Amino acid sequence: MRSKLAVVILNWNGKEMMRRFLPSVVRYSRLEGVEVIVADNHSTDGSVEMLREEFPSVGLVLLDRNYGFADGYNRALRELDAEYYLLLNSDVEVTSRWLDPLLAYMDTHLEMAACQPKLLSYHAKEQGREMFEYAGACGGFLDRYGYPFCRGRVMSVVEEDRGQYDTVGSLFWATGAALMVRAADYWKVGGLDGRFFAHMEEIDFCWRLRSRGRGIACVPESRVYHVGGATLNKENPRKTYLNFRNNLLMLYKNLSEEELGPVMRVRRWLDYLAAFTFLLKGERGSAQAVFRARRDFKQMLPDFEASRKENRQAALLATVPERISGSLLWAFYVRRKNTFTKVMRQTKRK
C-alpha cells in the first residue's frame, strides 16, 4: 500500500551518527502513513547489523555498492511507493511535530514541488545558541554566476536565528539535508543527477523544478538541527573538487543560450582567483582541486549535452525569480554585505 510520506536517510558507514540521531527521527515521525527508511550505500562499519538490532521498526533498502548521495537516493527511492519523499541526512536531529507543518503546507499548496524546514546548527544548540546551519539555513538562493547563499547564511557568515526569516519563503533551492519533495515531481525532472555523485546535486535538481514552473519553499515552523560536515569538512580538497566541478556542470545544464557564454567566461576568472586565494592560504590541495575540477568539467561536457537540451526545451520560465542578477562575491567582499537581507537590498533578482 502506498504511504503518505517516506522519510529516507541515506547512510554510508555512519553507524554512530545514526545511533545518535535516528532515535529523534523515529520518535517524532510516528504519524499515520509515514515510514522511516534507511538506504544503505553498502556500509562496511556494521551499520546494517546495528539497525536491525536496535531499530527494528526502521525499514531498510540495501544497495550493492556506494553510489554516492545522488544516485544512492535515486536507486533507493525507486524501491519505495509514497506520495512524498523526505531526504534526510543522518546527522540531523528533528524536533517534536516537525513533519506536521511540512505536510500541511504541501497538501494545501499544490503548485509547490518541494520544501524544507528551518535548518539550525546542532553545535550552536549545544552551546545554548540558536544559529542557522551553513548547509541550508532558511532556504537557498543563487547569484548570476552560480554561487549559492541562504536566508541566514551568506558565504562563510552564518546568522543567529532571531525569527527574522520565520515567514514561509519562496526559494531557488532547498537543502539536501532535509528535502521534502512530491514523488511525481521528483521523477518528472529525472531525480538527482547521479553523475554529480555528491555536492550541488540538490541545487541542480531544484533548478530543474523551478525552471519548469514548480515552486520550492521553506516552512520555518518546522525546525531541525544539523551537525553538518559529517562526511567531508569544508577544507577537504575532495569537497572543493566536487563543489567546483558540479557547480560548473549545473550552470552548463541549466543556463539559457544568452547567458551561457558570458557567465562561463566570468566564472573561469573567478575560479582562477579562488585557486590563487587557496594558495595564499597555504591550501595547495584545494588549489589543485579547482584546476582538476575545471579540467574534468571540460572532459565531461559531451556527456551533458543531451541533459542541457532537455532542460532548455522543458523550461517554462525564462528566468527563475530567486536567482539574483548580481554577483554575490561583489556584494560580500567589496560592498561588505554579509547577511541575506543586505545582499538582497544590494542586488536585484533576475
Q: pLDDT at position 232, please?
A: 44
Q: pLDDT at position 198, please?
A: 87
DSSP 142: E
Q: Is the pLDDT of residue 12 over 50?
A: yes
- Is the separation of the CB atoms in 268 and 220 below 8 Å? no
Query: Using one digit for the tens of pLDDT, what is the confidence trace for 270-308?
Result: 999 999 999 999 999 999 999 999 999 999 999 999 999
Q: Is the pLDDT of residue 229 over 80?
A: no
Inter-CA distances, 60 with 37, 41, 47, Å:
6, 11, 11
Distance CA 68, CA 71 (A): 6
- Map out the domains of the chain as residue ranges: 3-226, 237-318
Q: Burial of 109 by CB count in 10 Å (0-12 exposed, 13-18 middle, 19+ buried)?
A: middle
Q: pLDDT at position 290, please?
A: 98
Q: Burial of 110 by CB count in 10 Å (0-12 exposed, 13-18 middle, 19+ buried)?
A: exposed
Look at the block and give the residue holding cell 528535502. Answer: 179
**Which of 143, 131, 216, 140 is CA-nearest to residue 180?**
216
Inter-CA distances, 262 with 200, 255, 267, Å:
21, 10, 9
pLDDT band for position 346 (cuts 50, 70, 90):
confident
Q: Is the pLDDT of residue 347 over 90?
A: no
Of 44-48, 123-127, 228-232, 279-283, the range with the lowest mean pLDDT is 228-232
Give the chain's mean pLDDT: 95
Query: Using one digit for the tens of pLDDT, what is the confidence trace for 16-43?
Result: 999 999 999 999 999 999 999 999 999 9
Class of domain 3-226: alpha beta
Inter-CA distances, 65 with 13, 42, 44, 135, 232, Å:
12, 5, 10, 26, 19
Q: Is the pLDDT of residue 319 over 90?
A: no
Query: Using one digit for the tens of pLDDT, what is the confidence trace for 248-262?
Result: 999 999 999 999 999
Query: Using one digit for the tens of pLDDT, what is the confidence trace for 46-84?
Result: 999 999 999 999 999 999 999 999 999 999 999 999 999
Q: pLDDT at position 162, please?
A: 97
Q: Is the pLDDT of residue 318 over 90?
A: no
Q: pLDDT at position 231, please?
A: 44
pLDDT band for position 233 (cuts 50, 70, 90):
low
